[in-house]
Amino acid sequence: MIKIATIAGSDASGGAGLEADLKTFAEYGLYGMAAVTIIATMDPSNNWSHAVFPIEETALRSQLETIFKGVKPAAVKSGMLGTPYAVELTREYISEYKLKNFVLDPVMVCKGAGQPLSPELNAAIAQKLLPLAEVATPNLFEAGQLSGLGEITSIDAMKEAAKRIAGKGARQVFIKGGSKLPSAVRATDIFYDGKTFSIVEGDLFNTQWTHGAGCTVAAAISSGLARGLSAGEAVTLAKKFIGSSLGAGFPLNQWVGPGNPSAWRKDRLFE
């Protein structure tokens, strides 16, 4: 069994965070492990507003020991880190164990959470973790922050951002544009391998049930790497995977709806 780990927040609603990661790992036939950095909860009596509860440093270190010293995973994905010590511990373990297949999903805000996480934390993620990333997977907002470009509204700006983020150390950059570019008629992402750009397109779903899409696609990329795919191959497969998941998105309740990471099975059965 190929092992893979996520260092991420728990999304109590199950659609994003390490819950999305573990579901995705399982769909790729992998054995998933998880170190919880924060617990995110949503308040049904207050319009689903998010609260974040950090896991203390000793407990996080202990989880990383369990994961890395027990078995060295074939790939590691990080998601919402939430505290400066989670960024530092992630750096420490990825570099000490010379983990090559590290996918950095530089989560800076969750949809609906309101405030972005702190600028200091974003700077630490850029400085300490980008140089270790085999693939960094920012969304448009995060790409704007990491590159210093601010708001990104075109493919050309996405390309420039990808170049700058690679300049800060990520070996490959996948920018999740999805439906968010003003001109989008297809779900449009950019992949940059340090030399060339490719535009990665998929169906654009007219749906609001997209909770966890960013986590899921990054988890799918890390899963592809764990299975021995190149980053380019992993991105292509991840794009198919997220298309299938979003095509089967559903309302969890009156506030939020996730994709369905297991939907590809049905797609395949009915092909």
- Least distance (Å) from ligand PXL to the CB of residue 133? 17
What is the per-residue DSSP string for the chain? --EEEEEEEEETTSSSHHHHHHHHHHHTT-EEEEEEEEEEEEEGGGTTEEEEEEPPHHHHHHHHHHHHHH---SEEEE----SHHHHHHHHHHHHHTT-S-EEE------TT--S---HHHHHHIIIIIGGG-SEE--BHHHHHHHHT--S--SHHHHHHHHHHHHHTT-SEEEEB-TT-STT-SSEEEEEE-SS-EEEEEEPPP--S--BTHHHHHHHHHHHHHHTT--HHHHHHHHHHHHHHHHHT---SSSS--B--TTHHHHHHHT-
- Least distance (Å) from ligand PXL to the CB of residue 213? 8
**With respect to ligand PXL, which residue has the nearer C-beta, 40 or 75?**
40
Q: Which residue from 108, 215, 226, 231 is in contact with ligand PXL, where contact means CB under 6 A? A: 215
- Least distance (Å) from ligand PXL to the CB of residue 256? 8
Binding status of residue 9 toward ligand PXL by CB under 6 A: yes
Q: Which residue from 16, 22, 94, 104 is in contact with ligand PXL, where contact means CB under 6 A? A: 16
Dist CA 93 CA 97 (whole Å): 6
Binding status of residue 249 toward ligand PXL by CB under 6 A: no
Contact call for residues 18 and 10 (beta carbons, < 8 A):
yes
Q: Which residue from 22, 32, 67, 79 is in contact with ligand PXL, where contact means CB under 6 A? A: 79
**With respect to ligand PXL, which residue has the nearer C-beta, 11 or 134?**
11
Binding status of residue 103 toward ligand PXL by CB under 6 A: no
> CA of 73: how far to CAs of 79, 103, 125, 142, 150, in Å?
16, 12, 21, 27, 35
- Least distance (Å) from ligand PXL to the CB of residue 39? 8
Binding status of residue 110 toward ligand PXL by CB under 6 A: yes
Question: Could you give phi then psi for residue 259, rounded to 5 degrees?
Answer: -75, -175
- Least distance (Å) from ligand PXL to the CB of residue 195? 30
- Least distance (Å) from ligand PXL to the CB of residue 105? 8
Q: Which residue from 34, 35, 40, 226 is in contact with ligand PXL, where contact means CB under 6 A? A: 40
By beta carbon distance, the residue nearest ligand PXL is 110
**With respect to ligand PXL, which residue has the nearer C-beta, 193 or 246?**
246
Binding status of residue 106 toward ligand PXL by CB under 6 A: no
**With respect to ligand PXL, which residue has the nearer C-beta, 10 or 83?**
10
Segment near ligand PXL (CB under 6 A); pick from 67-75, 158-166, 191-199, 211-219: 211-219
Contact residues: ligand PXL, CB under 6 A: 8-11, 16-17, 40, 79-80, 107, 110-111, 212, 214-215
